[in-house]
Amino acid sequence: MTTDNGKKIVRQVEYYFGDLNLQRDTFLLDEMKKDEGWVSVDTMMKFKRLAEIVENKKESVTDALGSIGTDLIEISEDKSKLRRLPSKPVPVYDDNYKRLQKNRTAAIKGLDKDATLDKLQDFFEPHGSESIYMMRNRETSEFKGSAFVTFKTQEDMDKFMAEAEVDFRITAPK
């Protein structure tokens, strides 16, 4: 496993267990309720994007989390299960939470239509992004060149939006 691949694994698992995903991922929330928050790595391998990143080698998940580290996820002693740290409980998704989330989300337009999620994450992560939702054509699934980017804090979003020369251009390899 390369360091880049390990970072992708950690990023993806943190996304699954993150606040933004859990507000709509009823499957994972239900799994977390069964065993004090623990979810088997086998269950996590049912998530298509994670399975692709680890090339169906489930030990890569715990290897990456263990070697790179995470401040959100805990690995069981036998390395068969993962859970969100008990010190970071799932928030209550009430009107206040939604308002705060909206205040740290920016609609970004004019992105390269050939951009991949990985490339967008690599670009926005240093600016404090937490989640990226790529807008796609409903019929073709092609990326439209715009995305909703949710930042970790409103300050991160404000700083990003205030930068005069934010330029994101990714072209397809020739």
pLDDT (tens digit per residue) in 74-118: 999 999 999 999 999 999 999 999 999 999 999 998 899 999 999
Residues 6+ apart with CB under 8 A from 100: 154
- At 4, the pLDDT band (50, 70, 90 cuts) reads confident
Residue 27 has pLDDT above 90, yes or no: yes
Residue 173 has pLDDT above 80, yes or no: no
Tell me where in the chain the CATH 1.10.10.10 domain(s) lie: 3-84
* Cα atoms in the Cβ-side hemisphere of radius 13 Å centred on 94: 3
Residue 172 has pLDDT above 60, yes or no: no
Tell me where in the chain the CATH 3.30.70.330 domain(s) lie: 100-162
Question: What is the fold of 3-84?
Answer: Arc Repressor Mutant, subunit A (1.10.10)
CATH number assigned to the domain covering 100-162 = 3.30.70.330
- At 170, the pLDDT band (50, 70, 90 cuts) reads very low
